Every structure is written in structure tokens, then in C-alpha cells.
A and B are shown apart, each in its own frame.
Chain A
Amino acid sequence: MADYKLTELMTIRCAREISDGEVVFVGVGLPIVVAAYAFATHAPNMIMFTEGGAIRATPPPGLAITVDDPALFTNADATFGMLATMAALQRGEVDVAFIGGAQIDKFGNINSTGAGDWSKKESFTYFAGSGGANDMATSGKRVLAIMPQDKKKFVEKCEYITTPGFLGGPGEREALGMIGGGPDCVVSTMGVYRFDEDTKEMYLAEFFPGQSVEKIKAACAWDLKVSPNVVETTPPTAEEVKVLRGIDPTGFYLG
């Protein structure tokens, strides 16, 4: 079995969610590495959109540190700016909205605004805020999220809904006229989750090597449902890890 880090497993697992030829809107952080990896492996015809406003049919020439990184604009296909890439979301042209967040709940709603009760200003701990995640998850055809997992981060109900999942449950997105399909897959530091077609509740689909269903349920604040077909995630091959490390040779993202 290949020697790999958790970040590498998460990156390679996320990349498997991207099909060749899809339009992928890439958020800040590990998604940037996932996109570069997907380009280099099974999705050479992917189209990469960023918040900074670059549209690329090819991987950037170097490792981008941010979604507004100069490398993303070097030999891009178009660089019209945030207005143009995010307008494509509103037109319904983005297949995969790939985001992160600080807290997620059982309906896939994401909090990236802060911890605590916003109305109690003295105790609310502000994070950065939505950025483009809200726009991406509202209108992207499907949402792929990458999240660290523990009991404070996988909660019954987000303290602040920054980014809509299925909100309070089935039918709520449709009632508000959202054009995107909502959350499809969540890759955490422990496993992989999908959403029940009827209840819209997140369930465990895969556990990472070294994890167990029990450990994962213990790191989740609600009574997590588990797929009857739950499986261990296929670990990356030595070749996959080699390609990935070639993208981030100094471990800027991967550690």
C-alpha cells in the first residue's frame, strides 16, 4: 500500500468526484490542488473557474496560493474578473461548486461566518465570511465540500447558515427558487458523505482507512445515518501520490 498523508488522501478522493469535461468552480485552499491534480490525471478537459476571475482550460503553470493568484491568470483562457465567473454561476453553467467551510450540519448547510450567536455580539467569534461559497452552493449544479471533522464542526444545525445546503429539509431550496442542485458529496478528514434523496439528510458513504463507523459517529454531533453499503475509501496508489506531490512539491498545501 502506498505511503500517503491525510491531505493527499482527501485531495485524491475529492478529485474522483470531478468528471472529465466538467466546469468546476474552485474555492480557496485544497480545492486548488484538487483541480490541478484532476487536470493532470483523469480530467484533462475540465474547465476551471476561480473567484478572482480566471477561466482556464489548462492547469496553471505554477502552484496557486490563492484563488486570485497571478499564476491562475498566466496563460489563462479568459480573465474577465469575478463578475464574469460568478455570473456563469447565476446562468447555471457551473457543474461542480467546490467549497470549504468551518462548520456543516446534517442538511449540508455550511457556516463560514463565525461561532456563537451572532445577535450576542460580545461572544460571537468571526471567521472570514462567505466569500463566494454562498453563490457557488446556491447556483452550482452540485456542491462538493471539503471539511475538517469533529463534533463542533459536524453539527445538528449550523449556528449561522452562510451557505445553503438543503436548509431545513426537502423542498426548501426549490421553494426559494434556487437553480443549483445542492450538496452532493462531502469529503471530511474522516470519510465521505452523501445525501439521502428523500430526506436530504447527510449519511456516511465511505470511511477512510484507519477510521471506523463508530469513530466517525462519535465525531458527529447528531445521530449520523450510515449507508448499508458503507465501504472503506480506496486508498491512493503510489503513482497517484507521486503525481500529486509533483503539483505541490514543497508541501505548501499537503504538509
Chain B
Amino acid sequence: MADIDKRMTLKEAVAKFIHDGDTVYYGGFQIAVPMALTHEIIRQKKRHLTTIESSTDVGGLDLLVGAGCVTEIHTAWIMNWYVKAPYAIRRAFNKGHLKRYDISNFGATSAMMAGFLGIPFIPIRGNTGTDMIKHNTTDLRTIEDPFTGKKQTVVRAWRADVAVIHAQKADRLGNVVSYSTRGVTDEFGAMGSKRGVIVTAEEIVEPEITRSDPDRVIVPYFKTLAVVHCPYGAHPSASRGYYGLDIRFSQYQGKYERHAELLPHFLDEWIYGCADHAAYMKKYVEKFGQEGLDRLKPILGFKPKMDIDYGYHDPACWKGVPLYTDDRLKAYEEALAAKKGGK
């Protein structure tokens, strides 16, 4: 069995696997946003990226656009909920630095589902009759249903070059464990990617541990390019079972997002000024105290109570066991044989 260790640093993963001009699946939703990867993409000044996702909160994508990394977005919903707007995105759109393609959540999810399925497009009910289908013909069209002749809205398949996601656990081979939402759309966005997936994980576990519970694996190792051990890799969004949403930090970051002249100071202090994510978290504790981190501790005690066993059956038990029969079957088979013999 190939045992390729895909663990590497954040810096190596982004340098090696994200190229200027790539289309990137941007993972998470309101939690599990890949913020450490966001910061590293900004640090390495990647350019002309296109992102695909359904909805994304806490301003990660706003920072990527504000820092000049992303110039095209396909999305249903983007903001930093804690300041109620996507400020850098708004400014970039106004200045003509950003192409934005709007679609509904299920439109986006379906687009990634089509990418996951390896088919060119998929019918959907939503978006019909709105200005989204009017302005976003790159993703949305109306065709004739070949079976009924009726009008049908379709969305083209979205396939990223590379996917960036944050998960709770991964093993060194790249089996990615995400539970509770099962990543919202991460399993489809990631599996539909052409080159593969970069994952940051709160914990690295042994492959025998992930393989003991494969139902929780949302990305299998063959699809994974890089595994980065990165505690607090989703901060200020949450990671289920590890930490909650850092509302105060999102509000703080949001104030910098809001003002074009302030944003560079945030990027300098929290991203360019930090060598890696550990340095960012260290700065956090220096500036807002250990109590800031302590407030994010989740309420635990909700381990599954279902005792399951992934046991299997050994067919060797059939060796030497005579075929089951009874008098009726025997009589029928004898009669059938006699009839054939009589011909």
C-alpha cells in the first residue's frame, strides 16, 4: 500500500499547489472557513484567482478580494455577518477590479454537484424569473426540457482547479474527517476539483483511526494534495467541537474591511506581519489576551451514544457446507431430471 505522507507547512502547500489564475473552491460556510489558507494565499500574493463556493461568512473572501488575490467570484452569499456587508468586494466591484457572478445557494450547490458528478450542467428550480439569470448567463441558462418541452433552468458544472478546506481531523495520507455538517458543500466542491484538495486540520490522526470510521471521511486520500496541521485554522470562524465563532474579532476585522484606507493596516499587522498561522494566533493572545481564546471554548459532552461496529463477514465459513435442500426441492429436481432423461 502506498503510504505517501502529504503533511507539509501552510507555506509549502500554498506555494506548491495554488497558481496564479487558478479557480479555487473556497470551503466552509459560516463556520469551517479556511482562514489560515486565506491568510497564506494573501501572504504569497497569489493573483487573478477565481473562487467558487455557495455561501461564505466572516469576511475571508472579502480579505482575499481586498488584498488583490481574487478577481472573479461565483457566489450565492458573501459577507462578514458581524458587520453586515462585504465591503472590500463592494469597492472592488465598483472600481471594475472584480467580476461577480450571482446565483442562489442551491444553484451553487447544484453547480458543484454537477462538477462532482462529472456532467456538464444540471437542472434546478431556483433562479428562474430573477435578475440573477438575466445577468449571470455564464452560469445560468434556460433550455427546453427534452422530455416535456417545458422551459427549464439549468446551471453549468463548477469544477475548481484546487480546493481549500478546513476540517476537524485528517490523517497524513490525506483522508479528511469533517462531521456535523459534513462540510455543507465541501464534499462536492472538493471532490469536483481537478487537481485536488489542500486541507488544514485541527488534529492529525493515524490512518488506522480514520479508517476505523470511514463514514466520516468527506475527502478520501487520493483526492488530497496537502495536509496541514493547523490548530485554529478556521479562526475567526468556528470548528465544531474545537472552538466557537469569534464574534468580537469578526467585528474588529470588519471595521478594517469597511474602510479602504484601514484595510492595508489589518493586512500588514495580521497577515503580512505574521510568518504563519501560529504567529497570527500568538499575536491574537498578545493583543486580546488568553481570555479571548478561552471564550471560544465549546460546550462539550455530546459524543455519539450509538454503539456501532463496522464488522464484516468471512465467506470461508461456507467451505465444505453441503447445499441446503428439502424433500419438496429434491422431488421436484428428480422429476425434472427424469423428464429431461425421457426426451
Residue ranges of A at the interface with B (Cβ–Cβ < 8 Å): 28, 51-54, 61-62, 65-70, 73-75, 79-83, 86-87, 89-90, 113, 118-119, 121-135, 138-139, 160-164, 167, 172-173, 176-179
Which of B107, B129, B135, B245 gathers most chain A CB within 10 Å?
B129
Q: Decide yes or no: A178 and B182 within 8 Å by CB, A121-B93, A128-B77 being known contacts.
A: no
* Docked-complex contact A176 and B81, CB < 8 angstroms: no
Residues in B67-100 with C-beta less than 8 Å from chain A: 75-79, 81, 85-86, 89-90, 93-96, 100
* Docked-complex contact A122 and B96, CB < 8 angstroms: yes
* Docked-complex contact A83 and B180, CB < 8 angstroms: no
Q: Decide yes or no: A86 and B29 within 8 Å by CB, A129-B75, A162-B130 being known contacts.
A: no
B80 CB to closest chain A CB (Å) equals 9
B225 CB contacts on chain A under 8 angstroms? none
Which 4 pairs across A and B sit closest by C-beta, in order of nearness?
A: A131-B77, A134-B104, A68-B30, A66-B30
Q: Decide yes or no: A129 and B184 within 8 Å by CB, A66-B57, A124-B94, A177-B151 being known contacts.
A: no
Which of A51, A121, A139 gathers most chain B CB within 10 Å?
A51
Q: Decide yes or no: A176 and B96 within 8 Å by CB, A82-B185, A90-B124, A134-B132 being known contacts.
A: no
B27 CB to closest chain A CB (Å) equals 12
* Docked-complex contact B109 and A86, CB < 8 angstroms: yes
Query: B210 within 8 Å of A by Cβ?
Result: no
Q: How far is the CA of A163 from the CA of B131 in the complex (A)?
A: 9
* Docked-complex contact B180 and A70, CB < 8 angstroms: yes
Q: How far is the CA of A167 from the CA of B129 in the complex (A)?
A: 7
Query: B63 within 8 Å of A by Cβ?
Result: no
A148 CB to closest chain B CB (Å) equals 12
Q: How far is the CA of A127 from the CA of B62 in the complex (A)?
A: 12
Query: B207 within 8 Å of A by Cβ?
Result: no
* Docked-complex contact B106 and A129, CB < 8 angstroms: no
* Docked-complex contact B102 and A130, CB < 8 angstroms: yes
* Docked-complex contact B130 and A163, CB < 8 angstroms: yes
Selected A-B contacts with CB under 8 Å, 25 pairs: A53-B184, A54-B181, A68-B31, A70-B238, A70-B244, A81-B181, A81-B183, A82-B109, A82-B181, A82-B185, A90-B106, A122-B96, A129-B102, A130-B102, A130-B103, A132-B105, A134-B127, A134-B132, A135-B106, A138-B126, A139-B125, A160-B131, A167-B129, A177-B150, A177-B152
A103 CB to closest chain B CB (Å) equals 12
Q: How far is the CA of A119 from the CA of B94 in the complex (A)?
A: 11
* Docked-complex contact B30 and A130, CB < 8 angstroms: no
* Docked-complex contact B55 and A176, CB < 8 angstroms: no
B162 CB contacts on chain A under 8 angstroms? none
Q: How far is the CA of A57 from the CA of B46 in the complex (A)?
A: 45
Chain B: interface secondary structure? loop
* Docked-complex contact B94 and A123, CB < 8 angstroms: yes
Q: How far is the CA of A87 from the CA of B78 in the complex (A)?
A: 22
Residue in B94, B125, B152, B302 whose CB lies within 8 Å of A135: B125
* Docked-complex contact B130 and A52, CB < 8 angstroms: no
B83 CB to closest chain A CB (Å) equals 11
Q: Decide yes or no: A164 and B128 within 8 Å by CB, A70-B31, A126-B86, A132-B105 being known contacts.
A: yes
Query: B329 within 8 Å of A by Cβ?
Result: no
Q: Decide yes or no: A126 and B109 within 8 Å by CB, A81-B183, A118-B131, A163-B130 being known contacts.
A: no
Q: How far is the CA of A73 from the CA of B244 in the complex (A)?
A: 13
* Docked-complex contact B130 and A128, CB < 8 angstroms: no
Query: B120 within 8 Å of A by Cβ?
Result: no
* Docked-complex contact B128 and A66, CB < 8 angstroms: no
B94 CB to closest chain A CB (Å) equals 5
Closest chain B residue, CB of each to CB of A160: B131
Query: B240 within 8 Å of A by Cβ?
Result: yes
Q: How far is the CA of A177 from the CA of B150 in the complex (A)?
A: 8
* Docked-complex contact A126 and B29, CB < 8 angstroms: no
Q: How far is the CA of A138 from the CA of B124 in the complex (A)?
A: 11
Q: How far is the CA of A102 from the CA of B131 in the complex (A)?
A: 15
B169-184 contact mask (Cβ, 8 Å, vs A): 1 or 0: 0000000000011111
* Docked-complex contact B302 and A75, CB < 8 angstroms: yes
* Docked-complex contact B181 and A129, CB < 8 angstroms: no
A126 CB contacts on chain B under 8 angstroms? 86, 89-90, 93, 100
* Docked-complex contact A83 and B188, CB < 8 angstroms: yes
A113 CB to closest chain B CB (Å) equals 6
B317 CB contacts on chain A under 8 angstroms? none
B31 CB to closest chain A CB (Å) equals 5
Q: How far is the CA of A211 from the CA of B156 in the complex (A)?
A: 48
B85 CB contacts on chain A under 8 angstroms? 127-128
* Docked-complex contact A178 and B106, CB < 8 angstroms: no
A138 CB contacts on chain B under 8 angstroms? 104, 125-128
Residue in B100, B151, B185, B298 whose CB lies within 8 Å of A176: B151
Query: B299 within 8 Å of A by Cβ?
Result: yes
Residue in A52, A65, A161 whose CB lies within 8 Å of B181: A52
Query: B54 within 8 Å of A by Cβ?
Result: yes
* Docked-complex contact A70 and B298, CB < 8 angstroms: yes
Residue in A61, A69, A123, A134 whose CB lies within 8 Å of B130: A134
Closest chain B residue, CB of each to CB of A70: B240
A113 CB contacts on chain B under 8 angstroms? 102, 131-132
* Docked-complex contact A162 and B132, CB < 8 angstroms: yes
Query: B281 within 8 Å of A by Cβ?
Result: no
B93 CB contacts on chain A under 8 angstroms? 121, 124, 126
* Docked-complex contact A162 and B109, CB < 8 angstroms: no
* Docked-complex contact B128 and A161, CB < 8 angstroms: no
Which of A67, A74, A126 gathers most chain B CB within 10 Å?
A126
